[in-house]
Amino acid sequence: MLRALKLLVPPAPPDAPGPFALSYEGALESLFERANQSSGPAALAIRTSGEAAVREAVIGAFAPFRTAAGGYRIETEWRWQMSPLSSGSARGHQSKQVAQSL
């Protein structure tokens, strides 16, 4: 699938990070921190309480999910509904996913 999609997008810039860019020490944590700080509640908290306080609060909130290996294991559960366009009957689904090494 990736090979097919590669034909449909422009080439990456020469200085673009490679496929293992997030494997470097601290890279994933940095990305995660920037993503968390860009949400509405986090941005408001940064403006009112400062970036250091928000960073510490987020680190504290994720502490229970830290593994002995130093990664994070977060289990999440979601539900969705699917319905065929031609029928009034609907089928509900439930799934559980485990995200590792965030």
Give CA–CA dist 54/47, Å, rounded: 10
Q: Using one digit for the tens of pLDDT, what is the confidence trace for 69-86?
A: 988 888 888 888 877 776
Torsion angle defined by CA atoms of residues 45, 47, 48 and 51, in that order, rounded to the nearest 10 degrees:
70
Q: Using one digit for the tens of pLDDT, what is the confidence trace for 40-67?
A: 888 899 899 998 998 899 889 889 999 9
Q: Please check whether residue 58 is in contact with residue 39, taking contact to mean a CB–CB distance below 8 angstroms.
A: no
* Single pTM value for the model: 0.46
